[in-house]
Amino acid sequence: MAQKSLDAERNSALVKSTRAVLEYRLLENKNNKEFAGMSTPSDVAPSLPPLRAIQAFEQTARFGNVARAAEALDLTPSAVSHQLANLEAMIGRQLFVRNARGVTLTPVGEQYLKDVSGLLHSLAVATERASSDVSLDCLRLHSSPSFGLLWLMPRLEAFRLTHPDIQINLSCSYESLHFSRDKIDVDIRHGVPNWPSYEVRTVRNETFAVLAAPKLLARRPVREAADLLDRDLILSEATLLKWPAWFAQHGLARPEHPYALSFDRSYMTLEAASHGLGFALESSLLAQKYLASGELVEVSPESLSAPVAAHHLVFPKAHSSFPRVRRFLEWMEGELGHGFVF
């Protein structure tokens, strides 16, 4: 009996010892797995917002309205609002001020838009480039119609000769396109520069001049501003400086008789003036081809011309690092004969 009791105690001790070893090994194995899965701070991937949230932020900032952003993204307004709320929660700062009329960017939101604008476009361009001829880099330009037709188009061949590795895609309209949605690298805009979220390079030394065909000027000479009060005038409706403001600069009231012709495109105004249909008030930069050929002449440029900052190269901050954009800007400065106004 004593021997049986001793054997039972030994068996019980063996079971307890075995159980303890197994428990230890299980715990050690668990700890090793956890340790293997641990990362140092430098190994942890940065916390990135969802792509959908960045799209919602960019579109809402563009339109200043959640409903319009939702329409552009083919989402519901509540889905866009949810994306914006998650993005603000992730950042820990408010990006928009909400009001009854829509939303406006906070200072933090304005800076964030500057930092992220162009990223979606870069992603789209990278995807497109991966599926196309990698030997060509495509520069996508958008321009106001008259600048694109009259100034840029005649010079594109010179750009191609000096930059054969860059393919040009040029679209023209008066609409300010969206850089990521419309895949635009640089937008050449006409107007008052008020685009705080983007980089802006203004064309310097642009002047508005009174222009006329030589035969019209010979028939109806002009020596001072008042002489134009009874002349046939062509009105450019979309320019920054129009006839009423020009006459006011010279201390004169606007002409009482209606304009002979009016156009919503500068290239139409210049073409009409070159046919002797009236006097035009237009950009001498856009009229260079007409002036060089003698189809138009400037009327008393020393006294009747006025400086105007009308054309601007606009692009997201991120695009300034694109080699194709830098090369295009440098080429533009060479063609203009001077640098831009920043």
Residue 179 sits in a domain whose CATH number is 3.40.190.10
| pLDDT at site 174 | 83
Q: What is the distance between the alpha carbons of residues 187 and 244, in angstroms, rounded to a whole number? A: 29
| pLDDT at site 274 | 98
Q: With CA atoms as reference, report the closest residue to 60 among 95, 19, 23.
A: 95
Asked if residue 254 is part of any domain, the answer here is: yes
Q: With CA atoms as reference, report the closest residue to 246 among 257, 258, 233.
A: 233
| pLDDT at site 257 | 81
Asked whether residue 300 falls in the same domain as residue 320, the answer is no
Asked whether residue 236 falls in the same domain as residue 298, the answer is yes
| pLDDT at site 45 | 57
Asked whether residue 163 falls in the same domain as residue 123, the answer is yes
| pLDDT at site 103 | 93
CA distances from 167 to 136, 188, 271, 332 (A): 6, 18, 30, 16
Asked whether residue 283 falls in the same domain as residue 244, the answer is yes
| pLDDT at site 40 | 46
Asked whether residue 222 falls in the same domain as residue 256, the answer is yes
Asked whether residue 225 falls in the same domain as residue 213, the answer is yes
Helices 51-63 & 107-116 angle (0-180, nearest 10): 120
Asked if residue 95 is part of any domain, the answer here is: yes
Running DSSP on this structure, what letter comes out for residue 326? Answer: H
| pLDDT at site 116 | 85
Asked if residue 85 is part of any domain, the answer here is: yes
- Write the CB contacts of 280 (distance below 8 Å, at least 6 apart in sequence): 210, 211, 212, 233, 234, 236, 269, 270, 272, 273, 296
Asked if residue 217 is part of any domain, the answer here is: yes
Asked whether residue 187 falls in the same domain as residue 212, the answer is no
98: alpha, beta or left, given left = phi > 0 and alpha = psi -120 to 50? beta
Final residue belonging to a domain, choices 86, 115, 144 = 115
Asked whether residue 283 falls in the same domain as residue 329, the answer is no
Asked if residue 279 is part of any domain, the answer here is: yes
Asked whether residue 168 falls in the same domain as residue 101, the answer is no
| pLDDT at site 24 | 40
| CATH code for the domain in which residue 85 is found | 1.10.10.10
Q: Which residue type is seen at 186?
A: V
Kindly tell me the burial class for residue 302, based on how many C-beta atoms sit within 10 Å of its own C-beta (0-12, 13-18, 19 or more): exposed
| pLDDT at site 8 | 44
Cα–Cα–Cα angle for 137, 141, 142, nearest 5°? 160
Asked whether residue 79 falls in the same domain as residue 149, the answer is no
Q: With CA atoms as reference, report the closest residue to 265 among 178, 149, 187, 184.
A: 149
| pLDDT at site 250 | 96
| pLDDT at site 128 | 65
Q: What is the distance between the alpha carbons of residues 51 and 338, in angstroms, rounded to a whole number? A: 40
| Residues spanned by the domain of 104 | 51-115
Asked if residue 30 is part of any domain, the answer here is: no
Could you tell me the two tokens for 235?
């009105």
| pLDDT at site 12 | 47
Q: How many domains does the chain have?
A: 3
State the 10-residue block means of pLDDT for the chain, 342 residues long: 45 42 42 44 68 91 91 91 94 92 92 81 70 72 96 95 94 84 91 90 96 97 95 96 96 88 96 98 97 97 94 91 94 94 86
Asked whether residue 290 falls in the same domain as residue 218, the answer is yes
Asked whether residue 99 falls in the same domain as residue 169, the answer is no
| pLDDT at site 237 | 95
Summarize the chain as % helix, strand, coil (round to 5): 50, 15, 30
Dihedral through CA 293, CA 299, CA 300, CA 305, nearest 10?
-90
Final residue belonging to a domain, choices 115, 132, 160 = 115
Asked if residue 73 is part of any domain, the answer here is: yes
